């Protein structure tokens, strides 16, 4: 399973902003032709603001992170831009949402949870990331990773890892999905 963040809501907002900008510009032109100069100026300025919003959204969509989180039979794969991290399930020791700054000094009631997931690996490596970047709810991602680490039979339902398949596999996208098997 490969998870990625959806662009759907941002694209819908961009489409709505384009339609508002076109409608405002059209009404401004009609008012200008009828001789209502002040009203046409106000609507023209509103159309310019809507066009600026469209430009900003287009830039954001262009810079959208190409982040993917993949769960495979033998490993976990994170791809963020050009960085690819892989961890075999046998290497995973702990998976936590606890704040790592508080981890060493705090006791149980004082631990604070964050939206950043930290995976501690053997030997003394760790991976830290925000599951929401991939469109996955943090607590559900932690729970799934712990289940996959501990349950070999559950991992058998996942596909084999092949580096070339990571980009061609179907994506599970959403704003924040709860990954389940």
Q: What is the pLDDT of residue 98?
A: 78
Distance CA 96, CA 39 (A): 58
User: Is the pLDDT assigned to residue 32 strictly greater than 70?
Assistant: yes
Pinpoint the alpha helices (H) of 35-167: 37-62, 100-103, 138-150, 152-155
Second-level CATH architecture of 68-174: Roll (2.30)
Asked if residue 67 lies in contact with residue 79, where contact means CB atoms within 8 angstroms, the answer is yes
> pLDDT tens digits, residue range 137-176?
888 888 888 888 888 888 888 877 766 555 555 555 555 5
Q: Which residues, 6 or more positions from 53, have their beta carbon under 8 angstroms from its beta carbon?
A: 17, 21
In the numeric block, which tokens belong to residue 101? Answer: 């700054």
CB 142 within 8 A of CB 130: no
């Amino acid at each position: 399973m490969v998870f990625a963040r959806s662009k759907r809501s941002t694209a819908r907002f961009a489409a709505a902003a384009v339609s508002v900008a076109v409608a405002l510009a059209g009404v401004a032109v009609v008012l200008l032709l009828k001789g209502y100069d002040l009203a046409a100026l106000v609507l023209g300025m509103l159309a310019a603001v809507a066009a600026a919003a469209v430009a900003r959204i287009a830039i954001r969509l262009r810079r959208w992170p190409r982040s993917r989180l993949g769960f495979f039979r033998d490993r976990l794969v994170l791809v963020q831009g050009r960085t690819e991290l892989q961890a075999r399930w046998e290497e995973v020791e702990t998976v936590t949402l606890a704040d790592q700054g508080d981890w060493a000094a705090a006791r149980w009631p004082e631990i604070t949870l964050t939206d950043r997931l930290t995976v501690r690996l053997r030997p003394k490596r760790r991976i830290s990331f925000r599951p929401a970047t991939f469109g996955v709810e943090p607590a559900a991602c932690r729970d799934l990773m712990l289940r996959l680490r501990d349950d070999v039979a559950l991992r058998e339902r996942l596909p084999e890892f092949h580096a070339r398949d990571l980009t061609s596999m179907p994506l599970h996208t959403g704003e924040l999905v709860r990954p389940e098997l």
